Each structure stands twice: as C-alpha cells, then as structure tokens.
Amino acid sequence: MKQTAPIRRFKILCLCLTLALALGAAGWFAWQAARDPVDRIMEKMTLRDKLAQMMYFSPRTWKEDPTAETGENIIALNDAQRQYITEHRFGGILLFGENFADAEQSLRLVAELRNATLESGAPAPFIATDQEGGLVTRVNFGTAGVGNMALAATGEPACVRDMAKVYGEELQLLGLNVDFAPVMDVNDNPANPIIGVRSFGDVAESVGRYGVAYMEGLKSTNTIACVKHFPGHGNTDTDSHTGLPLVDRSHDELAANELVPFKAAIDAGVDMVMTAHIQYPQVETQTRISVDSGEEIHLPATMSRTILTDILRGELGYEGVIVSDALDMKAVWSNFTQDDILSLCINAGVNMLLLPSNAGFDVWTLSDELLDRAVELTESGVIDRERVDDSVRRILTLKKKYGLLEQKSAPLTDAMVSAAVEGCGSEAHRRLAWDIAGKTLTLLRNENNAFPLNVQAGEQTLILFSAATRAGAGELSRKLLTDAGVLPDGAEIESMVIEPGTAEACEKAAKEADHVLIVSRAWAVDCLDPKTENGFPVGVINRVIDDLHRRGKTAVVISAQLPYDAACYPEADAILLSYCSSVMKDMPNASGTGSAWVPNLPAAISAAFGMGEPTGRLPVKLPALDRDFRLLSDILYSGQAA
C-alpha cells in the first residue's frame, strides 16, 4: 500500500531521532570515558565514603573478648574483620610489626585487606608501614638495613639510594605501596628522645640531600615515600608519643633549618608528608586548654592551618597528600577532645588521619565511632566540606598516579608467593646491607694503635656489653669472624653484660682477659650519666678503662647507638661509632640469618678484630659533657657530613 507523505515524514523523523539518540549516547559514553576517573569516582561517593577515604585504619590486634587487656596479633582476617574492612572502605591501611609473621603470611594478609576493600567498590587502599630501616623496621623478617644516621656516615647518597631501594623492593613483594619514610628531621638537639639515629644528621642541607636519595630509592620500586615529621621533630626534648613537645623557634629560624630538607623533598616531587604533633608558639599562636592538664597549650602543627596550609602549601608549594602522625599519641589524644582532633586536623589541611592503633584501644570500635562523628561534624558545618572534597581529590589523584584506581581485584599467585619468600631478606639484600654497614663505621679516635685489636693465637678477648639486649651480637660476630678465618688459632671470645649484679664479675673478668672490647649503648641522655639507672654501665666502663691502662693495655669502645656517649669515655684509646644496633639477646640462628638483624654492631665488632677498615665520617657534632655528665654547648668532635 502506498504511504502518504505525512507517514513518510513521520518515519524519517523517527529515524533522525533514533540516530540522534544513538550519537548522543555514544558521545556521552565517550565523554564519560574521557573524563578524569577522579571526577567520576567522587560523584558517586557519599560523605561517609569521602571521610573514610581520608583515614588510615590500623588492624593491629583483635580482641574476641572486648574486656580483655590484650588482643591477638592480626596475621589473617576472620569473617568479622573482613566484613568490617569491606563496609568501612578506608582509604588507607597501616600495618605494624604485629601483622608481619613471615613473607607468605604477610603477602596473603595484604591481599585479603586489599580485596576486602575492592569488594566494596571503593578504590584500592594505600597499604603502608614504617620501614625506615635500622631501629624502626616493621617487616621483622626482611632486610633491616643500617639506619639513617649510619647511611649519612658513608658520605655516599648512592648508599642511601641502594638501601632504600631494598626496602621498596621488599615492600612491593609483600603488596605494600607506601613507606612512612624517610625521616627528614634535623637532629640538632642531642637530647632528642625519639629521633636520634633515625635522622640523617644535624646539618639541614645534608639531611635534605640524603633524604631525597632515599626517596629516589623507594620511587625506583614504585613505592610511595612519606617524609616526616613536618615541620621538624629534631629539636625537641619530649617524645610526642608521651607528651606534647614545644619548639620555640621563629618562622625564619625554621625556614633556615627545619624546613630545608622538606623543601628539598618537595622540589624532588615527594607524594606524601607526615605532620608532627609539636607546638611552635612563635609560628602558631592559637591556643586551647588541655583536657588533661587544664593548662593553656598551642595548637600543634598537625592542627595548625598556619603551618600546614600557609607554610607547607603556600610557601613551600607542596601539592601532595598530607598525613597526620598517629592520633592516639599522647601529644594529641591526651590534650584534645575527639571532636577537636577531627575538626582541627581536617580544617588545618590534613588530608589523611592515622586512626588510633595502640593495643590499649579497641581500635575497631573506636575507628567506627570516629568515622561516624566525622560525618556528623561535617554535616553540621564544624568540619569544612570543601576541605573534605579537596582532600579526597588529592588522595584519588595520587592513587591514580600509582595505578590504584585501575585495580579491581588482587589475585594471588604461586609465583607471587615464591617471589616474596625468596626476595624478602634475601642473601643479596643482606649482603648489600652488610657492605654498607662497613662503610658507615666511623673511627672517632685511635691512639696507641689500639684499633684494631692485635689478637694472637690462644688469646682471650672479653666483650663487655652495656645492654643485655645487644649481647647476642657478640656470639654472631664470633661466628662471622670464625667463618671468615680472621680469628687466630685458639683465640677465644667471651661476652658479658654490665648490670648492677654483674659489675664486679665483669671488672674481674676484664683483669684476666688478654684484650677487652667495650660496647656502649646510649639510647637517651639519661644513659650518659653514671648516677642514673640507665647510665650505670658508664661508671663500670671507665673503671675498666683505668685498670687496662694501669696494666699497660689499651681500651677500645664501640658506640652502638647514639654517638653522643663518646664523650663519656675521655680516656679510651679508640672509639668506633656504629650508630645503630638491634635487639639481639641471642644469635638469630646458626647461620646468622632468620629474623631481621641490624648489621651495624656485628660489623663494628668484626672491624675491631681486623675484618674491614672503618671509613665513615661523623654526621653530627658531638658535645662535651660537664662534670655532672650534662651536655655542654662546647663541641668535642665536629661533624663532617657532606
């Protein structure tokens, strides 16, 4: 039947509309595909999703019984824990030593955490730990490394880069993508109770140079570096874990010192910066009344808009993600209400909050409460919603940079398990750490050819340790020396620990030994004063030194941690600095491997027997002590860091 003109026009119109809709739909999908994935994700996020994205959750321990004093270490997720992670959609997860038992277990736990988050439809989380190296090493079966001050003593940024690359490679093998390192604090206060050998030294430019090299090592493995603790924790005399420190320096003084390494990191493209819970009253003048003491306190840097937004963002030009230090540290938790902690941090410019992780808390319930409260505070206008959106955009932009927005699942293969088991703490990595440890050793003094010990066949050497926790390094060193063929035939090494109950026996044994090697470990200024409990060994060591001299023998002292104890032993013939040591009450195992051990002290003991030649340079100034063993402004040894 012949169609009328109106019908033909109607069909043509329908066809045109169909084509237009099809083209429009195709264009819409093309437009959507071309849009920044950050925009697409943010459009779908609820306010709760956004605030959860701004939080690092720490699944450290678990209490089946909420009333129990302690919980079990989380090394695998149970159903309740997995559901919690899925429901909360946290933007970051922070792991501690309790979470790391061995390589396969750790890899599986990280995969479980990532998959539990991805199952919710949320972006893959940052999964972080503090693998600084040396004293702060969470992956306790991997390569511990030598620590930052020791790395600076090599005088070689390449050593720093290589050591950090090892940390990054091992974290990547376990599935982690963020390292809360390096420490960029300038340790210009020898009495600092928390930074010390975690710092590269007391010269700001050197700290920046070595810190950037560390960042480069991590970056080469696609691991995100988070420098800390802005604007600087090096000049404090209080540990922010236990109190609220104060640094009474002006903006100009900070700019000339503390801020220098952070500016170097920013210029080098650092992705994350961690804040410090420290008062800077000359910079941040706002105050609050402490809920604990009732005293007036200044807002710490973590809560200071002046420090985080005006200085870090404005003056230094930082565009990355700002992370708070742990919110359960007493500097914050004991002085502010939970509402103030949340609102002041976020409004000041913190993008990600490190939620409480202390085993003394029920972190699961508390984290839930903090997230709920953050939502309420934002809905009521106490927390600035624009700050929330800005933070989430920065977080997602960083995740996009590292490919986390593309992850939809985290399959675990046998090859990945094998790589983790073989690569974490591998012989190659430990050998590198050992070689670098040899370059860190600094021979501060050597009179009367005291160093190295001239041990002959059949002679006995006594190693006196000032700390029982380090005495295992003696047996490990004896084995290393024996395996290397360094010890003469019949030469014996005996170790003893100086304690109040053993002091007399130690002094007697020192009189009978052919050689005495003394290992001094100071971890705080209290250890320098023989009148204190921690400093008790200093008096014994000096009596041993005097007796050796009376008998025509020389005295060699190894400083096993803070180098400032060198001033305690003015009569020692030789002093060797190792800058770091790890807990080693016994040998790791028969082969000297197994759990991670810091190689500095075994390398120093070995060098004292002629195995290696110290070439390190002093990265800090060592002050003299007065008659009461208090630090003076006079410098006994000048630093040589480059």
Same structural domain, 499 and 546:
yes
Exposed e or buried b per residue across 220-238, where buried means at least 16 C-beta atoms within 10 angstroms of its C-beta:
ebebbbbbbbbbbbbbbeb
Both 382 and 473 in one domain: the answer is no
Q: How many residues does the chain have?
A: 642
Residue 592 scores a pLDDT above 90: no
pLDDT of 1: 52
Say if residue 2's pLDDT is above 60: no
Q: Which domain holds residue 110?
A: 77-423
Same domain, 303 and 388: yes
Mean pLDDT of the chain: 93
d(CA 243, CA 233): 13
**Which CATH number does the domain housing residue 148 bear?**
3.20.20.300
* pTM of structure: 0.92
pLDDT of residue 21: 66
Cα Rg, the chain, nearest whole Å = 28
Residue 32's Cβ-count burial label (10 Å; 0-12, 13-18, 19+) is exposed
Query: Do the domain assignments include residue 465?
Result: yes
- Asked whether the predicted pLDDT for residue 28 surpasses 70, the reply is no
What lies within 8 Å, CB to CB, of 71 at 6+ separation is 61, 62, 63, 64, 359
| pLDDT at residue number 361 | 80
* Residue 24: pLDDT band with limits 50, 70, 90: low
**Which residue, of 379, 397, 423, is where some domain finishes?**
423
CA–CA distance, 239 with 441 (Å, rounded to integer)? 28
- Is there a single domain that holds both residue 445 and residue 384? no
Phi first, then psi, for residue 628 (nearest 5°) are -95, 15
Q: What is the pLDDT of residues 53-103, one digit of tens each?
A: 999 999 999 988 777 777 899 999 999 999 999 999 999 999 999 999 999
Q: Can you give 149-218 as a three-state secondary structure string?
A: HHHHHCCCHHHHHHHHHHHHHHHHHCCCCEECCCECCCCCCCCCCCCHHHCCCCCHHHHHHHHHHHHHHH
19 residue type, one letter:
L
Q: Are 471 and 417 in the same domain?
A: no
505 and 386, same domain (yes or no): no
586 found inside a domain: yes
3-state secondary structure of 340: helix
Specify whether 463 is located in the same domain as 391: no
254 located within any domain: yes
Q: Are 280 and 254 in contact (CB under 8 A)?
A: yes
Distance of alpha carbon 43 from the chain centroid: 35
* pLDDT, position 71: 84
252 shares its domain with 291 = yes
Q: For residue 520, how many other CB atoms are within 10 A of its CB?
A: 27
Q: From CA 190, how far away is CA 202, in angstroms rounded?
A: 9
**Residue 132, in any domain of the structure:** yes
**In this predicted model, what pLDDT tens digit does every residue of 309-340 receive, in sequence order?**
999 999 999 999 999 999 999 999 999 999 99
The answer to whether residue 40 is domain-embedded is: no
pLDDT at 13: 76
Spatial distance between the Cα atoms of 51 and 35, rounded to a whole number of angstroms: 23
Which of 423, 449, 474 delimits the end of a domain? Answer: 423
Does residue 433 belong to any structural domain of this protein?
no
Q: Say whether 276 sits in a helix, a strand or coil.
A: coil
Q: Are 138 and 244 within one domain?
A: yes
The whole-number pLDDT of residue 584 equals: 77
Indicate whether 121 and 247 sit together in one domain. yes
Evaluate the omega torsion of the peptide bond into residue 182 and state whether it is cis, within 30 degrees of 0: yes
In 10 A of CB 84, how many CB atoms? 18
Active site residues: 241, 325
Q: Are residues 151 and 253 in the same domain?
A: yes
3-state per-residue secondary structure call for 17-53: HHHHHHHHHHHHHHHHHHCCHHHHHHHHCCHHHHHHH
Residue 44 within a domain: no
- How far is it, in rounded angstroms, from Cα 228 to Cα 208? 12
pLDDT value of position 240: 82
pLDDT tens, 374-396? Answer: 999 999 999 999 999 999 999 99
* 607-to-255, 431, 567 alpha-carbon distances in Å: 40, 16, 21
Q: Are 73 and 385 in contact (CB under 8 A)?
A: no
CATH of the domain at 606: 3.40.50.1700
Token code pair at residue 376: 């309420």
Domain count of the chain? 2
Distance CA 453, CA 576 (A): 12
Report yes or no: 409 and 118 within 8 Å, Cβ to Cβ. yes
Last residue of a domain, one of 423, 454, 488: 423
Q: Are residues 166 and 219 in the same domain?
A: yes
**Is 552 inside any structural domain?**
yes
Residue 628, classified by CB atoms within 10 Å of its CB into exposed (0-12), middle (13-18) or buried (19+), is: exposed
Query: Which residue(s) pair with 492 in the sheet?
Result: 460
Tokens of 26: 């195709």
Residues 308, 259: Cα–Cα separation, whole Å: 12
